[in-house]
Amino acid sequence: MGQAGARRGRARRLLLGALLALGLGAPLARAAEPAPPALSVQGWIERLHEATRQRAYSGTFVVTRGDDVVAARVVHVCDGQRQIERIESLSGPARVTWRLDDEVLTLWPQQQTVLRERRETLRLFPGPLKVPGVRVDEHYRAEVRGRDRIAGYDAWVVEFVPRDAWRYGYRLWSELRTGLALKLQTLGAGQQVLEQMAYTELQLDAPLRQEALLRQMEDTRGWRTSRPQLSRTTPQAQGWRITPAVPGFQLMGCWQREGDGGRSRPPLQCVLSDGLASVSLFLGGGEPPPAGLAAAGAMQVRTQRSGEHTLVAVGEAPAATLERLLAGVERLP
């Protein structure tokens, strides 16, 4: 190599050294990334709830349960007190679900029918806040798995690892800045993904007005409206005793729906939760299980007889958990 070539080599080495010193030309050299929040499972749940307060957003999310894939469009507005949400199904039969706090309207446009009801148990998702008797950290632990990018947003990936075999695990993608849940997987044995919900498109802090959404929600003139009467009650008042036989699962409440004048009375519905998972127990007469109940993805269904009564457990929990919870149900003499 001549002197000119040697000089060019030294110049290239000097230039490369300068670039590296300045952090240029070094694709692997990054600024220090922020550390993930050091939170318990309850802390992550509170972060998720706080993300929906004082915030408006809209987007499209996809739910995958086995071979079943459905998509929906969601619009959400909360002023820190009242929360309104609109979810429009984009696959399958046309359906729009409105939620104003615990009031829910389900609209079927083709039939021009509306179902208006209250669902107190909606507050259980993605986990109740400071519900008496529920200590979620006793049954799950939080482990941060790193960072990922979902729908154009950076997110912390955290797993809620069950401490026993009575419950599923969860893998959550929590948006770095706001904490909003961008993706959620339900994990079975061996980390098998049983069910997944994820945004494919999302606009945070969308220009939405709560008043405009309220007007849309109440505009059901000309539609046939059904208002089932649902009253809160207790198992004992309806002739049942429930002894939660799975560690961590606590009784959240029971509701009785009024009958339609037929001979059989609708079953009593009782909801139990461990802070993340929830299971509904339907305790009724001799009628068969409610129509449409079938195991899919993380959702399991178990049925058993108690004398002349049919008992049904439905929830996102292992089959053994549902069977154990049913074993804790008995008819009072």
DSSP 102-159: TEEEEEETTTTEEEEEE-GGGGGSS--SS-TT--GGGTEEEEEEEEEEETTEEEEEEE
Phi and psi (nearest 5°) for 5? -65, -40
Strand partners of residue 268: 256, 283
257 pLDDT band, cuts 50/70/90, is: confident
Structure confidence at residue 260 as a pLDDT band (50, 70, 90): low
pLDDT band for position 58 (50/70/90)?
A: very high
Report whether pLDDT(286) > 60.
Answer: no
> 3-class DSSP state for residue 15?
helix
What percentage of the chain has pLDDT greater than the value 70?
A: 81
Between 4 and 316, whose confidence is greater? 316
The confidence band for 59, taking pLDDT boundaries of 50, 70 and 90, is very high
Dihedral, CA of residue 217, residue 218, residue 220 and residue 221, to nearest 10: -150
84 φ/ψ angles, rounded to the nearest 5 degrees: -125, 140
- For residue 329, pLDDT over 90 is answered with yes
Q: Which of 133, 127, 225 is nearest to 184 (CA)?
A: 127
In this prediction, residue 32 carries a pLDDT of: 60
pLDDT in tens, 184-220: 999 998 999 999 999 999 999 889 988 999 999 988 8
Going by their DSSP bridges, the two strands 250-257 and 230-233 should be labelled as antiparallel
pLDDT tens-digit series, residues 112-125: 999 998 876 544 44
Residue 154, pLDDT score: 97
Average pLDDT over every residue of 259-280: 82
The rounded distance, in Å, linking the Cα atoms of 231 and 253 is 11
Higher pLDDT, 12 or 264: 264
- Band (pLDDT 50/70/90 cuts) for residue 67 is confident
pLDDT in tens, 122-147: 444 444 455 666 889 999 999 999 99
Q: Output the CA torsion sign for 175, 276, 118, 68.
A: positive
Q: What is the pLDDT of residue 112?
A: 93
Lowest mean pLDDT among 6-15, 73-82, 156-165, 234-243: 6-15
Would you say residue 16 has pLDDT above 90?
no
pTM over 0.85: no
Task: Give residue 123's pLDDT.
Answer: 46
Element (H, E) at 20: helix 3-22
Which pLDDT band, with edges at 50, 70 and 90, does 259 fall under?
Answer: low
**Range with lowest mean pLDDT among 45-49, 80-84, 85-89, 94-98:** 80-84
Structure confidence at residue 227 as a pLDDT band (50, 70, 90): confident
The mean per-residue pLDDT over the stretch 76-87 comes to 88
